[in-house]
A and B are shown apart, each in its own frame.
Chain A
């Protein structure tokens, strides 16, 4: 990249140097100054309509909308000057005159920018003495409900649907203070990415029907994670309350999902909360499964595996760490592993580069392949007669079940009992993706970390922990105390992951060594 000289300016007394063409609002962010705004969103075209981000620029005759004003050499910008604050105060008062102030029953309360900025710099009271405008709430289709009275007409939702989703559903209808967000006749917010308008809405005008009245924003704990709904690997925030996932929301990552996630991914929280979990290790005895302690179960598993070729049916949703350890268990026995990827329709988000709900509805097929697992439509065809079969969180089809008789013994290592599996000799419970930490490799070969958001049920343990213990029971040293250790072992032994460290991945991930070949596939 050619070196473009940076533009130097001063924002709130702080020197800032940014690339030419940067807006004052974005430049201020680099100086640690948040200029209050509503209509501006870095993932959408600039509208410049809320007039909240007005700042005072020395030598400008009028206040400038910082979202739509490019920086210039030597500019001196005042965000908190009397003039700028008065202007914003005026905007806030205007935004509230017809607002119902129904924060106590509004889902947005606690994460509402109208609330936040009003507390921060709004008037203490309103001078509005007239009747407020009232309009009924409307179902916008999909997961979206429009509460018109709370709308500040920032048009983020309209711009998202028009310019990012390329599906013209929403518009601004009417004029003046009668204006509202309208829906074109016969259209609904059924686009695969439509629910992003709920996140984009800075106030409580667009709310999720699914999440409606379920939790207050301040009750939620938030954890960085990665969506496992498909192979895109959208960065997400898992929001939990009382050890239950309440909602999944996008976390911005310019290299993966910008600011968005699809509706399919959002719905994934139900799977993460499923109740039919395996909670204890057990061994099949003469009169059915017997609950045993972890030591007993691991010992038993090691005993039945020893001397046999191991075949692993591994879920392409497992972490790189779990897959690495599983591949080591298979390899040391001369065995192999395979997986099948559930498929669905592809649903791109046209306005964002290389972003789609992918046909591959699994988060780590790329990792599984890099770690030596074979992608196969009938993965159990690769199993040999007499193999010890480990079913690692992988569901079976009725077709798969026919091949099960080839297995000498069947061990389940999973968060729930696999579908269509009639018999398991040993069952080892593991945590699901929001109950442990680890890494996943998305379809472009980007390795991304997810963190633990809630506790695993019963005696279930993190997958890397269980598998490292199993390796130990088999006589192979695998003393990992934290997930990062398991990743370290993986990076040390798997060529594709060479050079990566758990810390260097950070919360936005890094590409594997030959990620270029995955990127190539994008074109």
Chain B
């Protein structure tokens, strides 16, 4: 939890410990809080040794896919004679997700330290932090912190006086969701249209400017200094005893119809039901939660009952039929119309489709038009089958997963809340708008 709220006692504050603490934004303030010790240590280590520590810690990508970070780093062949690049994905555009924003707003040096360590660990001398253009304040904070770090010689041609080069640059996005897809992000940095690239080649082989590249999320990189400082075992311990595959802490962005929305940092394996009801304060007065999208808008929608059975780690979310994703948890209560909410999500994806793949370009827009027609009261019984069929055409057949992301909430929503769609089609009211709660 961060400003303006006090953390909940059941949170485990690692990344968010200094949220709300303005002094932590400065280089001196950050050093006073133990900052840059890990970088100093890292620069004295062998890059492969750093990769191994991160591998050992079990850290996985926090951007959504959950790929093991150490393993990803090990794809970069140190000393292959080619320039390597690190891209930090700070495009955080997934609806419902706002954790990276807070890391950059409050602890910009934490990210710089993580990026510097990551760059060094993969043999890169240049790193780019790709920040979504709408993040005006985080961009300012990052630029200011980078200027301080450069001036103090923390990064640059002689980082921490070690003679090693670690240049870090901020690159601003221009408002496209798709630029958060790693290959589109690289195209965008190169000055091209932000279209995802076909894989293979994978970024570790031919990425930014055609050179070996690693792309890591803000939260992933910000966790690395803590792992170096405290050791892989410390990080690994923050997990379910029966599930060593998800380790560490995770920032959850909670929004929607919930008593206390905000960012929460909990250990992997935290019970989802307790999280929602206790940590986040549960439903708004007089309402009941009916649906949760736990991992950013592109993961399957689950019901409250399913959520209550879930535990908050990668595997725990899968076992209740959804995904951890970017942990942007959207809570929807009984006052909302599911068709309307889902139509709104579909419209987002239709707007953001890069227009390369046929199924995505046409399918996202078609899905949206059908959903909006249903919401407007002009739906037919066939529409629901058509929606599912279009969704099938849009899943697993395109260059990136934007298309799948649009189909997922539609198909899961239809599966779990079909009655709401059917009621709209047969013109029955299913959700009474409650009276204003005093």
Contact = CB atoms under 8 A, between A and B. Distances in A.
Interface of A: 46-52, 54, 62-63, 65, 68, 87, 90-91, 93-95, 97-98, 127-130, 152-153, 155, 171-172, 174-179
Contacts of A52: 358
Given A62-B396, A130-B366, 20 more contacts: A47-B356, A48-B198, A50-B357, A51-B357, A51-B359, A51-B397, A52-B358, A63-B396, A63-B397, A90-B359, A90-B390, A90-B393, A94-B361, A95-B358, A97-B362, A97-B366, A153-B361, A176-B350, A176-B353, A176-B365
Contacts of A152: 358
Nearest to B351: A176
Contact of A90 (B351, B356, B364, B392): B392
Interface in B175-205: 176, 178, 193, 198
A241 to B, nearest CB: 34
A94 B358 contact: yes
Interface of B: 176, 178, 193, 198, 350-359, 361-366, 369-370, 373, 382, 386, 389-390, 392-393, 396-399
Which 4 A/B pairs are nearest by Cβ-Cβ distance? A90-B393, A179-B355, A177-B365, A94-B362
Nearest to B383: A129
B198 A65 contact: yes
Nearest to A133: B365
Contacts of B397: 51, 54, 62-63, 87, 90
Given A127-B382, A130-B373, A49 B399 contact: yes
A335 to B, nearest CB: 62
A300 to B, nearest CB: 68
Contacts of B362: 94-95, 97-98, 177
What DSSP secondary structure best describes chain A's contact surface?
A: loop
Contacts of B176: 175
Contact of A49 (B193, B356, B363): B356
B65 to A, nearest CB: 15
Given A90-B393, A127-B382, A177-B365, A50 B358 contact: yes
B359 to A, nearest CB: 6
B268 to A, nearest CB: 27
B347 to A, nearest CB: 10
B355 A172 contact: yes
Nearest to B385: A127
A130 to B, nearest CB: 4
Contacts of B356: 47, 49, 153, 155
A46 B359 CA distance: 18
Nearest to A130: B369
B361 A46 contact: no
A93 B398 CA distance: 16
A87 B397 CA distance: 8
A174 B355 contact: yes
Contacts of A130: 366, 369-370, 373
A517 to B, nearest CB: 39
Contacts of B393: 87, 90-91, 93-94
B356 to A, nearest CB: 4
Contacts of B373: 129-130
Contact of B355 (A94, A129, A175): A175
A114 to B, nearest CB: 11
Contacts of A65: 198
Contact of B353 (A51, A97, A175): A175
A49 B145 CA distance: 40
A172 B359 contact: no
B386 A127 contact: yes
B363 A176 contact: no
Given A62-B396, A87-B397, A91-B393, A46 B198 contact: yes
